[in-house]
Amino acid sequence: MESIVFFGKGGIGKSTIAANVSVLLAAAGRKVLHIGCDPKRDSTLALTGRRIKPFSDGGFAGAAALDGAVHKGAKGIDCIEAGGPQAGVGCAGAGIGAMLDAVRDSGLMERNAYDTVIFDVLGDVVCGGFAAPLRRGFTSKAVIVVSEEILSLYAANNLVAMINNYARNGVYLAGLAVNAKDVSAVRQAGEFARAVNTRVLGVIPRDPAVGRAEKVRKPLVLLDPRSPAAGALAGLTREILSSKKPSSPPRMMGEREFESFLGGAGAPSAPAAAGRPAPVSPGALLEGAGFSVTGLLGGQVVCGWKKGGDACKIFVAPSTEVRPGMTAVSDWAFCFAPGEEPRGDRAAFEAAVRGISALRFEDFVAAFSGGPDFYGDADSFGRTGYHPRLPEGDRPIDQHTGFGQWHRFVFSDNSGVCVPPGTVIVEHGDIECRFSSCSSTLLNTFQKMGGLSNDQAPSMAPFLPKEGSTVMNTDFGYGDAIRGDERKMAERLSAVSARGSAGGLLEFYNGCTPLLLSSDVNNFLEKASRDLKMEVLRDNFNNFEDATPGKVRARAALVVRRLAARRRTKPSCDLNLVNFASSKALPLAELLAGRGLSAAPPERDFYGDIAASRLQVLAYPDPVLTTAFDELGIKWAAPPAPYGFAATEAWLRELFAGLGRKPPRGGPGPSPSESARHAALSKRLSRFAAGFIASPDEIPTLEGTWAVSGVPMFSLLREAGMPVRLFAYARDKAARDLAVKEAGLLGKRTGVKPRLSFFDSPAGLRRALSADRVMRIVYSDIPGDARLAEAGKNDFSAAMCEPGYEGTIETMRRLANLCEWEFNERYGRR
Amino acid sequence: MSDTAADKAFERTYQLPYLLGVFMAVNAVRDACLVVDSPNCAMVKADLIAGNHDLFSTLLSPDGRHRVVCTMVTPFTPQKNPESRVAAILNSIAGSGEFGAVLLTGLPFGWLAGMDYDGIAAAVPPGTPAAAVPAKSMDLDWLEGYDLSLEALARCLRFPARPRRAAGKVAIAGYMLDRNEFDHAANLKELGRLLALAGLELVSVWPSGGGVAELARAAEAALIVSLPYGRRAARTLAGRTGAKLLETGLPMGLGGTSAWLAAVRKAAGLKGGPPPALAEAERTAAAALAPALRVLRNRNVLFAGDPHLYSAFSSFAAELCMGVPAALLGSSSRELGPSAKGAETVLFAPSASEAKSALAALPRYRKPDLAAANSFAVTEGFAEGLPFVELGFPSYGHHCLLDEPYFGYAGARVLAARMLNALQAGLAAPSFRERGF
């Protein structure tokens, strides 16, 4: 089967040419399918004599929508029009993609055994959707229609790049069809063809017969086959059919080159193929010049270079992403890796760069096929590797998706930010969003977080996403994408209104698909704000728990409004544990009750409990709550978390102080029985050591990765009488020096002097861990971390720690059990 | 709009997303890797499987050798040519030599943007097979995602140049291996055993939890048996290998298994009735479960799970003289297999309130005594107060550290025993007693 796609700037006769080529092929006995890929649906006007019902009228309902969309045209040609949304809404490109998927999925082309498929694609190709006919299995030849208009050549130049991009699918540019009014235009088109390394397939002269045929909606080659234009169309068709894949691909002119071309310079003197790499393969060229591609880093290619005794390492970036300090070469630029410049004469290196200057950026990427240290070098697939660079305080950008990198053993906090009742979260997204949005993005079986605000109850298996009074998804679908989502948004916001959330806060999160389509949500949200009498806040993606300043302000204002609206009552409780996980709040409430302090029952009535309590106790100083409390003059405290006996006593003392009351006689400390059990467990634990693994810049975060709600692990272990080992990842002296410094500072802060050792590879770490027989437990936030089991060790983490006196005793009991547990020692070792 | 209508508009439905099916297929092929062109939120699908449903899953790994990775792309990612980034990642993973096959898919916005995933995958340099799974999340459900992923593997895998094909060799394509636990291992062992008794050799199961090399052995088969979870994959495989194709339901229950074996034997060209050893295996299984029938018969079972499993299960239930008055099916609407016995109520992707109303509306003597259902049926409250056999995906509350099949003759015994035990245990439960049993 032959398939031909016609591209070109709008309004220069593309549809006329495509329709007539279809007729000529059908007249020659071919079975032809003609597909119009333009929402205007005028490609088949001449073939059918009318506007046919487009595919889009079938609701884009997959293959079923094709049933009513195939229409017979002149000479038995089957015609389809993709159709599309009303201008200015939805996504016509997506509609074309949907139609082609339906054509493929329904087996239409095979079933009807077409000899030829003609695609007529709308004017300027503005997004990937309009390139859909170039996907695998559809098109083999592309023809660009040009005219005397400069902008038609400009469009053609861009189309060359697009067609080359899809060359991997077997598509090639057959050449240009010139729809020109005079000889000069034909000459210009010919010069353009030479400049971009293609050819002119045919020239259609200006002919009044064309206009006559359009008027009566008939194909010219049938209405007036003897007209000059009809003859030219027949010639063009023959040329298209006989065209073969060119030996060298066409080449898009750069902007300056194109401007110079238009300036009258004609075809550049350099041959079109000059910018392309030499016939040597990119890999061989690189190797010959002394380069080896060793990895990908943040979208850049990492290259080593070696010549004689000299060597260096460079980062290569595409020219679209050049940074200051990089040297531009071709469509790529390079800079030296820090401290990796050539030591000797740079002339050899510069000569080597000249030798590979013909390469394109994609050649570097193609040359990368893993390396001896693939897992060490490649970290472009996520942004947190073993060596965390924490640009914003202690929060890594992404904790779990890096590929080919060791995961850190200690993750940072994921406490989030309070979503006060009265907030309605509407996520404008599809079903995939729905299954991503309603819980935090941490993977609960892969990463367990501890601390006061994290619930680690065993029943953490996933649920179907919650859709309730506070979180909802708009169920954005195919039709919304193609036809526009205004109706869907209106319907959903009306449903919010019916919930009677007046005075509340509506947070509207735009998902990826509506973002891509630039849905006009602002207009809707303004209306929603008026109609619903709610404050409206817009954000993107499902960042419900990101504490942006605007979000903090809006949520705090909601808390203020709701609390201010309540009638002041006499407090009935001493304390209110506000943002604690329920598994932590319950035992702490018991602890407080034992010391004569009453606490509001957890998760009863958010605003009522605040109003009914003398002091608000926060697991961490949530910015929403602290802002609101400060504004209303509500007393609050967020003392360091009560993990360990000393920390628990300090926590209690701070709460008594906050209430302005004295602790009970004898102080708020542990009972004699609790102290005795603590001492017995300390004795049991002191026979063992606990280990931590970190890179030097991670060491400061080890004492509880966040200041308040986290577990002060080093202090807890010190109190339990356990020595601590610290294994630092350090490949050079500078890293070792930094680790020594940071470990010293950590020791000063916590009173624990860890025994420091170093490793520089996974195998090295395994050896170091295995060799230490006293150390039985090693910290990891990944439960059952196989890297530790393989060394015969058991993992422990903050998720195992419980607050309060009884909680501390239970934590120590768990640690002791782990220290004495031999399963991994006996069966886990590798 | 009334409050009730408003609530309904936002109700969650008993339905799972397309990408989850893709993740499941990759989970089931030990050395396959999936690249998802998406932000990291897509990774949460792994959580529905790894460590929660499948304790043996290797989708995620502390050493970074994840078998599902994402490109971190968003509509805001500034890229002049976004395809080059995806291509770089895909090529690198394929070139790492760590994987037997690499699949590529994306979120719907990638598809809408016209990302040419097919072309990118096809351009991966020779070495590791790579293919694109269509990014069809807005159109298709998880069962389609699973099928299309297997189909992508069937398109890209390299088969031995001269496979040792023989008439008696059979491959099964479209098995739902939702986890690498011993329920599925036992199912496959049982099917291999029964096919051997039937005079056939099972050379490959798509997927079996093994690696790509095991999948490639399908080229040796003269017959591809297509199960409902991978019809497309089976067709592609048969088309590529030239093997004969037989489409069947699931081999569940005694009669269901015998019929399945008979169909496979016939398609493989074997004449006559079942070999004596096979008939004996069926009789032995029947004898073993016969004592349970006095408890099981005339019981009503609520089924909640996937539609293909429902078709097979309802047939098995009928064999045990049990009824399935209601089936709540967690997928888009689709044609049910011929073995599905008509329940009074069959709902596809119902909302929680629809499901509960339908169950409440069942006539008094058709109320379920037992639920055979997945975990979500429990968490959504469909099976409240009922004795419960957790079956299908997901099974967060029931894990198999030892053989526990539910297919074949052995599977019929195990599943009957599980239902029997659940019913008997339920006799002691107050809610059950209160209902007059």
- Contact map slice: A 592-651 vs B, CB within 8 A: none
pLDDT in tens, A112-160: 999 999 999 987 766 777 788 888 778 889 999 998 888 889 889 989 9
What one-character-per-residue DSSP string does B138-159 give?
TT-BHHHHHHHHHHHHHHHPPP
pLDDT given for residue A72 in this prediction:
94
Contact criterion met (CB < 8 Å) for A513 and B113: no
The alpha helices in A537-644, defined as continuous H runs, are: 549-564, 582-594, 606-611, 623-632
**What kind and span of H or E run contains A153?**
helix A150-165
pLDDT given for residue B185 in this prediction:
98
Q: Is A134 left (phi over 0), alpha (psi -120 to 50) or beta?
A: alpha
pLDDT given for residue B78 in this prediction:
58
pLDDT given for residue A456 in this prediction:
61
pLDDT in tens, A679-717: 999 999 999 999 999 888 788 878 865 556 678 899 999
> What mean pLDDT comes out for the span B204-229?
97
Burial class of residue B349 (count of CB atoms within 10 Å of its CB; 0-12, 13-18, 19+): middle
> What mean pLDDT comes out for the span B252-279?
96
Cβ contacts of B144 on chain A, cutoff 8 Å: none
Instruction: Give the tokens for residue B40.
Output: 């990291």
- Contact map slice: A 534-553 vs B, CB within 8 A: 540-542
Sequence-distant contacts of A273-278: CB under 8 A, at least 24 apart: A273/A197, A273/A248, A275/A251, A275/A330, A275/A358, A276/A248, A276/A251, A276/A358, A277/A358, A277/A359, A277/A360, A277/A363, A278/A358
pLDDT in tens, B29-79: 999 999 999 887 888 889 899 999 999 999 988 777 789 888 877 777 656
Report the percentage of chain B scoring pLDDT > 90.
Answer: 71
pLDDT in tens, A291-318: 877 665 656 777 888 887 788 888 888 7
Using pLDDT thresholds of 50, 70 and 90, give the confidence band for residue A398.
very low
Mutate to test the interface with B, among A138, A168, A444 (most CBs of B within 10 A): A168
Best CA proximity match to B209, nearest among B27, B42, B76 = B27
Size of interface A-B (CB pairs under 8 A): 267
Fold topology of B289-434: Rossmann fold (3.40.50)
Contact criterion met (CB < 8 Å) for A369 and B61: no
Least confident of A73-87, A429-443, A481-495, A523-537: A429-443
pLDDT in tens, A193-217: 999 999 999 999 888 999 999 999 9
Chain A's closest residue to B46, CA to CA, is A443
CATH 3.40.640.10 fits A423-546, yes or no: no
Q: Does the pLDDT of residue B1 top 60, yes or no?
A: no
C-alpha Rg value of chain A to the nearest Å: 35
Contact criterion met (CB < 8 Å) for A403 and B69: yes
Q: Say if CB A724 and CB A689 are below 8 A apart.
A: yes
Q: Where in chain B is CATH 3.40.50.1980?
A: 18-156, 166-286, 289-434
Chain B's closest residue to A407, CA to CA, is B62
**What kind and span of H or E run contains A757?**
strand A755-759
Establish whether the linkage from the previous residue to B394 is cis, with ω within 30° of 0: yes
Chain B's closest residue to A786, CA to CA, is B62
Domain spans of chain A?
2-275, 282-377, 423-546, 672-828
pLDDT in tens, A557-592: 999 999 998 877 789 999 999 989 888 999 999 999
Q: Say if CB B151 and CB B233 are below 8 A apart.
A: yes
Say which CATH architecture domain B18-156 belongs to.
3-Layer(aba) Sandwich (3.40)
Distance CA A152, CA A154 (A): 5
Distance CA A210, CA A225 (A): 11
Phi, psi of A442 (to 5 degrees): -65, 145
pLDDT given for residue A683 in this prediction:
96
| DSSP 3-state of A811 | helix
Best CA proximity match to B33, nearest among A403, A383, A400, A443 = A403
pLDDT in tens, B158-199: 998 888 889 999 999 999 999 999 999 999 999 999 999 999
pLDDT in tens, A478-500: 788 877 888 888 877 777 777 66
Q: Which whole-number Å values give the CA distances from A186 to A16, A149, A199, A201, A238, in the listed order? A: 19, 11, 12, 12, 19
Instruction: Give the tokens for residue A606.
Output: 């958010």
Q: Dmax over Cα atoms in chain B, in whole Å?
A: 70
Q: Strands, E, within A148-199: which ranges? A: 172-180
Using pLDDT thresholds of 50, 70 and 90, give the confidence band for residue B344.
confident
Burial class of residue A823 (count of CB atoms within 10 Å of its CB; 0-12, 13-18, 19+): exposed
Distance CA A65, CA A99 (A): 9
Chain A's closest residue to B125, CA to CA, is A366
A2-275 belongs to which CATH class? alpha beta
Residues 6+ positions from A754 with CB-CB distance below 8 Å: A692, A714, A724, A725, A726, A743, A746, A747
pLDDT given for residue B83 in this prediction:
83
Q: Does the pLDDT of residue A547 top 90, yes or no?
A: no
Q: Does the pLDDT of residue A453 top 90, yes or no?
A: no
Q: Is A14 a catalytic residue?
A: yes
For chain A, give the mean pLDDT.
Answer: 83
Distance CA B291, CA B83 (A): 62
Distance CA A122, CA A37 (A): 6
Cβ contacts of B96 on chain A, cutoff 8 Å: 369-370, 374, 378, 404
> What mean pLDDT comes out for the span A354-361?
82
Q: Say if CB A52 and CB A44 are below 8 A apart.
A: yes
Contact criterion met (CB < 8 Å) for B17 and A434: yes
pLDDT in tens, B82-121: 788 788 888 878 887 889 999 999 999 888 888 899 999 9
> What mean pLDDT comes out for the span B5-32?
83
Q: Does the pLDDT of residue A392 top 70, yes or no?
A: no
Do A2-275 and A423-546 share a fold?
A: yes
pLDDT in tens, B292-326: 999 999 999 999 999 999 999 999 999 999 999 99
Q: Which amino acid is at B32?
A: A
Q: Is A124 a catalytic residue?
A: yes
CATH of A672-828, one of 1.10.3470, 2.10.260, 1.10.3860, 3.40.50: 3.40.50
> What mean pLDDT comes out for the span B346-372?
92
> What mean pLDDT comes out for the span B393-397?
95
Q: Say if CB B186 and CB B257 are below 8 A apart.
A: no
Distance CA A246, CA A249 (A): 6
- Superfamily for domain range B166-286: Nitrogenase molybdenum iron protein domain (3.40.50.1980)
pLDDT given for residue A389 in this prediction:
32
Contact criterion met (CB < 8 Å) for A318 and B16: no
What one-character-per-residue DSSP string does B241-308 give?
H--EEEE-----SHHHHHHHHHHHHHHTT--SS--HHHHHHHHHHHHHHGGGHHHHTT-EEEEEE-HH
Contact criterion met (CB < 8 Å) for A168 and B123: yes
**Partner residue opposite A478 with nearest CB, options B10, B118, B139:** B139
- Contact map slice: A 660-699 vs B, CB within 8 A: none
Contact criterion met (CB < 8 Å) for A136 and B122: yes
Cβ contacts of A137 on chain B, cutoff 8 Å: 118
Cβ contacts of A432 on chain B, cutoff 8 Å: 17-19, 42, 107-108, 137
Contact criterion met (CB < 8 Å) for A516 and B96: no
Distance CA A329, CA A349 (A): 13
Which is catalytic among the residues A101, A115, A124, A394? A124
Which is catalytic among the residues A40, A306, A313, A753? A40
Mutate to test the interface with A, among B76, B92, B354 (most CBs of A within 10 A): B92
Least confident of A372-386, A619-633, B377-391: A372-386
What one-character-per-residue DSSP string does B61-102 give?
-TTS--SEEE----TT---SSHHHHHHHHHHHHHHTS--SEE
Best CA proximity match to A532, nearest among A557, A500, A554, A507 = A500
Chain B's closest residue to A374, CA to CA, is B96
Q: Is A215 a catalytic residue?
A: no
pLDDT given for residue A479 in this prediction:
80
Using pLDDT thresholds of 50, 70 and 90, give the confidence band for residue A371.
very low
Distance CA B175, CA B184 (A): 10
Sequence-distant contacts of A276-285: CB under 8 A, at least 24 apart: A276/A248, A276/A251, A276/A358, A277/A358, A277/A359, A277/A360, A277/A363, A278/A358, A282/A359, A282/A363, A282/A364, A282/A366, A282/A367, A283/A366, A283/A367, A285/A355, A285/A356, A285/A358, A285/A359, A285/A363
Cβ contacts of B60 on chain A, cutoff 8 Å: 400, 443, 446
Contact criterion met (CB < 8 Å) for B48 and A762: no
**Partner residue opposite A464 with nearest CB, options B2, B79, B379:** B379
Contact criterion met (CB < 8 Å) for A407 and B63: yes
Report the percentage of chain A scoring pLDDT > 70.
Answer: 86
